[in-house]
Chains A and B, each alone.
Chain A
Amino acid sequence: MNKNDFTTYLLAASYLATKSGQEYIKEKLAFEFRFDVELNQSYDDPSDEGVTFYPEDEGRIFNDQSIEEVTTLLSRSGLIPEWIDINVKSCSKETTTLHLSCAGKYTDQMEKMYYSDRGLASFGVKSPNLPIDWVEGKKFKLGK
Chain B
Amino acid sequence: MSGTPHPGQTDQPTENRVWDFFEAAEESAPELQPQALALHYLARPVLVQTVSGRCILAFVDPYGLSGLESQSGFSKGLDWLQGGLDVVGTFEPTPFADLGNAAISGLRGNKTDAALSLAGVIPYVGDAGKIGKYLKPLKRFGGKVKGFFGKTVVRGSDEFTTALYHGGNLRDGAVQSRRISLTPDVNHAKRYADLNGGQIYQFDVPSTRLRQLELDDGVLRLQDSYLNTGSYASEFRFKPSVAPELNQYLRR
Instruction: Contact check, A138 vs B178: say whether CB atoms are below 8 A apart.
Output: no
Cβ of B220 under 8 Å from chain A: yes
CA distance in complex: A126, B188 (Å): 14
CB of A45 within 8 Å of the partner chain: yes
Tell me the B residues contacting A by CB distance below 8 Å.
Answer: 1, 4, 6-10, 24, 27-28, 54, 58, 168-171, 176, 178-180, 195, 214-215, 220-225, 228, 232, 235, 237
Complexed CA–CA distance, A130 and B171 (Å): 28
> 10 A-B pairs, CB-CB below 8 angstroms?
A38-B1, A41-B179, A43-B178, A126-B222, A127-B232, A131-B8, A132-B9, A133-B24, A134-B221, A140-B7
Q: Are A130 and B24 in contact (CB under 8 A)?
A: no
Which residues of the other chain, B, contact A133 by a CB distance below 8 angstroms?
A: 8, 24, 27-28, 58
A138 to B10, CA, bound (A): 19
The answer to whether A114 has its CB under 8 Å from any CB of chain B is: yes
Known contacts A132-B6, A133-B8, A135-B28; is-contact A114 B195 (Cβ 8 Å)? yes
Task: Write the chain A residue with the least CB distance to B220.
Answer: A129
Q: Is the CB of A138 within 8 A of B27?
A: yes
Chain A residues with Cβ under 8 A from B220's Cβ?
A: 129-130
Contact across chains for A117 and B24 when beta carbons are under 8 A apart? no
A124 adjacent to B170 (CB under 8 Å)? no
Provide the bound-state CA to CA distance between A89 and B4, in Å.
Answer: 10
Q: Is A50 positioned at the interface, with any CB of B under 8 Å from its CB?
A: no
Known: A129-B7, A135-B28. 13 other contacts (CB 8 A): A41-B179, A42-B178, A43-B178, A101-B1, A101-B179, A118-B225, A126-B235, A129-B222, A130-B220, A130-B223, A132-B9, A132-B221, A133-B8
Q: Does A87 contact B (CB under 8 A)?
A: yes
B222 near A132 with CB under 8 A, answer no
| Contact between chains at B8 and A132 (CB < 8 Å) | yes
Taking the closest CB of chain B, its distance from the CB of A140, in whole angstroms, is 7
Across the two chains, which residue of chain A brings its CB closest to B243?
Answer: A43
List the 7 shortest-distance A-B pairs measured between CB atoms, nearest first: A131-B8, A127-B223, A130-B221, A135-B27, A129-B220, A127-B222, A126-B222
The answer to whether the Cβ of A125 comes within 8 Å of any Cβ in the partner chain is: yes
* Contact B8–A140 (Cβ < 8 Å): yes
Select the residue from A20, A43, A129 with max chain B CB neighbours within 10 A: A43
Interface residues of A in 109-144 (CB under 8 A from B): 114, 117-118, 124-135, 138, 140-143
Query: Which residues of chain A are near B176, meaning CB under 8 Å?
Result: 43
Nearest-neighbor residue (CB-CB) of B177 within chain A: A43
| Interface contact B1-A43, CB-CB below 8 Å | no
How far does the Cβ of B50 sit from chain A's closest Cβ, in whole Å?
12
- Chain B residue nearest to A25 (CB atoms) is B7
The answer to whether A129 and B228 touch (CB under 8 A), given A42-B178, A135-B27, A140-B7, is no
